[in-house]
Structure 1
Amino acid sequence: MDNDTNPSYRIMVAVEDHELRRVAVAGLRAAGFCVSAPTDGDAAMMLAESFSPDVVVVDSYLFAPDGRPLHERLRDSSEQYLICITNEGQFRLRTSVIQSGADDAMSAPIHAEELAARCYALLRRPRQMRQRVETPMSSTIVLGPLVIDLGRREVRVDDEEIQTTRIEFSLLEQLCRRPTEVCTRDDLLDAVWGPKWVGDTHVVDVHLSNLRRKLDKGAPGIKVIHTVRGVGFRLANDVTDALELSPAMHSLS
């Protein structure tokens, strides 16, 4: 599996159950995929456009903002490969979601290696309608005044470039991939340092504190990162308020 997986492939995992999400995300990252993991329908709809995933793994019981099942809403609005996860034993529901447009279906509990194999099996199929730039991470996330160029690894706030270290950029990128959610320290450690990291979670606070100082100096009138005491970190309202107006990611050539 490791020899075949292209690390530029992006997977979005949209499930509510924490343990299911943890297993899926850890397994897909271990297989070499780039993974984003929103936990609600609002963030999933936005990231389906901004993250430009190649495969979407979605909980059959997660709903879009308009009240429809999320997998149906995603199928209507995109040509990304879609794997739907149902509860154990619900073969009729698995049949139904495939008939309604899902490319594959699995029942929980899932096995991470099987999920990764199914994702790669879908990616081996030609999909006539997919229009995707294959340059790894050649995209820009635009969230109001905050602009993250993933290809060039550049950060701009209110058109002011902010110099960041590799870890600072990666932490900010993770917050942007889950713009409507709080990222715990453990979430950020797993995403940036890897699931095998052994050490004090305070390292996250240190790097984010340094990043905040740079952001405040470069754009003093805009708050980018907000601390949720006892939980973790999220993007501040100065950034997320723009999501309702113009959430977008522009592919670069």
Structure 2
Amino acid sequence: MKHHIFIVEDDTNIRDIVAAYLKKEGYHVSTIDNAEQAWQLSRAETPDMWILDIMLPGMDGYELCKKIRQESEVPIIIISAKDEEVDKILGLELGSDDYLTKPFSPRELVARVKRLFKRVDATHVDHDSEQKDFFQVGDLRLDAQDRRVFWKGQEVEVTAKEFDMLHILIRNQNRAFAREELLALIWGEDYFGSDRAVDDLIKRLRKKIDGLPVETVWGFGYRLRNEEELE
């Protein structure tokens, strides 16, 4: 079954070129020139990936990204003429999976689409028959098979990257991870954004889970502390 991609871009040339390259790779593509229409179309058919421009008429790409993330973990790539680090961080904070600055090579975008689909698909395949399905530290419990998080018995809604962060930390309790290492593990080796994305991810998790046993290793990174394992 072909992956279906929504391209939301008001520049006709960019939209058509990107769509042509993606169709050539075998993807099913829908092109929309504004966020409002794209959101309405997604009510009838949920895409497997969004490619969003930021500077759109009416609702901008950031607002659309926020709306998508409120109900879905579908991959999102933001494309924008803005090259400021604060814009990239904002995009990541709102839940995008990648950020590409204009002008860009359509081939580079296609490569990122492929890598992102590969990474997302891999998270749903268990390659290790001995892998644990459940992890627990204190009041925190993870169901790795169904990618669910529970705190004090109540389920907590988390994004794909938030789950990946918790999964890495809880599988390696009491081990300190450098920010750069977490960035590579969660965003991929080819991601060249700021390691502030890691701090922002932890900040969001701490907001959702008051008392989360993840501690900051100052000047280095983070670890999930399990006092029982240290005894």
- TM-score w.r.t. the length of structure 1 is 0.44
Of structures 1 and 2, the one scoring higher in RCO (CA 8 A, sep 6+) is: 1
